[in-house]
Structure 1
């Protein structure tokens, strides 16, 4: 189904010729307002355009504020003032997901499969409110400056640019781990197996590795299982994911574990394809997910359907490893599969984002990601704003490699497949499982390196 962008003036039409060729997620194109009134890229004209765009395309346009743009000095201050505040009981959470992003950054990630940064991600959410707890590295992106410097999951961050870990936790501020240009750098004091050390990382642009790990394993009871981790729902994930399932199929796996614990989302089209592999022919042609727009744009409503791939398996159960960073398109995988197969989630409650974006380029270098639609499965189930609770709550051990034979989440999935149910939690473990806290207590920011999104493509 086509998606109709707002009207454009002549200059914007020329810009759109470039936008059509982008490999990014089906960007709509506009131009400093996208109207026929000669709007420019001045701040005043951008705000006028943004107000009109939100009134037309924003999912909660009828429930959101619409303040006079003249009272705001920039797009960055005006945009949050237009967002829904959670006033309707049917949508009890305020919109904390919509955001503005540089078009260069957006195209780099969702078109080229690359990113700018240091590649070090910390377990910040897990220690919120506990400045006396250690701050661990939870993930290092392959090929990043952090990986090339030898940093590993399980290293303990002592300080970032001179700010102690306790300060970072107390302030919920990990912004120094994000970079805005290749001229940026960050200095880390780190405790490793070899002792305490200081490392300075220079920001770089590097290729993402959206499927960093896959393997065939045998459970203690002799069951064959396939394990695959998907970090980002981008097009570059599809070939290695298909290769993983080719290996699973060749080895006759009886169960599959899809590790989405750090998957903040991405493209609907990629989530659809990933969800198509576990059940194969049995779900082929059935509805994976429907996207529902506001009443002005209901003609854009559409459904994505499962596909039967040659390397798909025919399993009636799938294990998904989850956590508070399992968001958007990765939650869509869980919701889309539930009408057809048994989905056993292991880890922690997911983030709770059943809404997504039709990215809108403003013609002035910014992509507007305002919530445009909600997503539901074949049974019209959606609005999981509190996330999906874990079938088995299992706390992470950041000292263990992801997906390894010592990873507690993988072990729990193996034991469950062997018929032993969920592991019992000790009192100490319970205090460290975020899912046992009320969802309203969770921080709503995104840590540097995480990419949350549900983009229609």
Structure 2
């Protein structure tokens, strides 16, 4: 498939890392197409040669990135890592730890079918980095997943995974046992809940994602109506339920809306564009949401996405967005795209800081190369937010409280702010728990189980 003729999808985000098993998928023994559509054959040598040519043509930082001789690298994955930008330019001060290679099967399953392979258990690993004596808690359990079916819930304490204690896991920053490679893979969890300690075994399965797991109309203490909606994944399957929820918000006459993106690592630019179009169509419709800017060789591919006008769109002048270090890529694009038109109040923690994205390239050998191809800017040409977006109201998470509930500290802060009481005053102890006190560039770069990051526009 030609680089020029393929169906175009662009991705802004990071997926579950370049782990060894995923990288091995690059070496699937099927033949590529040759020319600029893929390597001549699917041998390791030909794939590495093709990869260097592709990166020199399409990689955003091709001018300053390394270009070593491929013969010095034993695998495609190790060579790919050697080609990545090192963060040496003042205007782009972060090294590229976002680009990755994933199997075609995995890519199609998520961004096509809206399904995933996993256990469905996400832990609060970032929050305990460097503190092996702190408890490791479940922060999110995906609906319909093996973890959900086994009764695991947010706030459960993970004592051990496959016999390795939480202290060991935190000290090593190694959560790989929570990311299965095949259906039927097993994980054994020792957990602690209010009912006591127990041992749970989960079998990995492929299940449907629920990208909009919850929405509702809530009332603030002063009686103000607010619409709350959680968006976990920016995939096509999110658009329908998001539209339905905003229809309910509009019918209820909400005065503000809360979009919960704290665990949304990104996805399709087109979906981010649609989501951002609902809060205030009168101010945004037809205007530029985001522009994608490629390298000088590929500037002919520069394009702008524009806000749309939907029947269920509202006319709100203010939007609350719940954020955290996992609010990444296309989710940050929602914040950046809306800022020129409406007041965006971010509550929670500093976002991940990823203003660049991908035009995924199948290699014809069973893998998809996601190398950074473009940067994203809003209608004011604002971008390059490598330090993320700081929270307007910094608020620490409480994993013992259900996400989006009346007792969720981020919801409480949003309600109080909407009622005119401003941001909460945090005690010093609470401030130390907020990762926003550290720049994204200083955070660990490993990716937690279940994270699906990407800015993909089509």
Change (3 A) 1:23 1:349: closer
Q: Distance in 2 between matches of 1:91 and 1:439?
A: 14
Alignment match, 1:412: 413
Aligned to 1:190: 191
1:12-411 → structure 2 map (5 Å cutoff): 31=32, 34-35=35-36, 39-411=40-412
Moved beyond 6 Å, runs of 4+:
22-26
Shift of the alpha carbon at 1:456? 2.5
State the superposition RMSD in angstroms.
1.8
Report the alpha carbon displacement of residue 54 of structure 1 after superposing the two structures with TM: 0.2
* Secondary structure at 1:79 match in 2: helix
Distance 2:36 2:240 in 1: 40
Structure 2: gaps spanning 5 or more residues: 13-30
Query: Would you say the 8 A contact 1:32–1:41 is kept in 2?
Result: no
CA distances 1:409-445 after superposition (whole Å, capped 9, x unpaired): 0110000000000001112101111111233321112
Q: Distance in 2 between matches of 1:58 and 1:256?
A: 38
Contact persistence 1:33–1:46 (CA under 8 A): no
2: CA distance, partners of 1:23 / 1:350: 24
Q: Conserved in 2, the CA contact under 8 Å of 1:335 and 1:377?
A: yes
- On the 8 A contact 1:34/1:362 being kept in 2, the answer is no
CA contact (8 A) 1:283 1:340 kept: yes
In structure 1, C-alpha distance between the alignment counterparts of 2:339 and 2:372, rounded to whole Å: 24
Q: Distance in 2 between matches of 1:36 and 1:274?
A: 33
State the distance in 2 between where 1:417 and 1:281 align: 21
Structure 1 length normalisation: TM-score? 0.94
In 2, Cα distance between the equivalents of 1:277 and 1:410?
20
- CA distance in 2 between counterparts of 1:345 and 1:318 reads 8
* Contact 1:23 1:107 survives alignment (8 Å): no
Q: Quick one: structure 1 residues 36 and 6, their matched pair in 2 at CA, closer, same or farther if it must change by over 3 Å?
A: closer
Conserved 8 A contact 2:9-2:456: no
CA distance in 1, matches of 2:426, 2:104: 45
The structure, 1 or 2, with the larger RCO (C-alpha pairs under 8 Å, 6+ apart) is 2
Question: Does the 8 Å CA contact 1:6/1:34 hold for their aligned counterparts?
Answer: no
- Between 1:227-236 and 1:191-200, the stretch displaced more is 191-200
Determine if contact 2:119/2:180 at 8 Å carries over to the other structure: yes
Structure 1 unpaired stretches of 5+: 8-15
Distance 1:445 1:193, change over 3 A: same
| Cα distance in 2, alignment partners of residues 87 and 100 from structure 1 | 23
Distance 1:303 1:260 in 2: 23
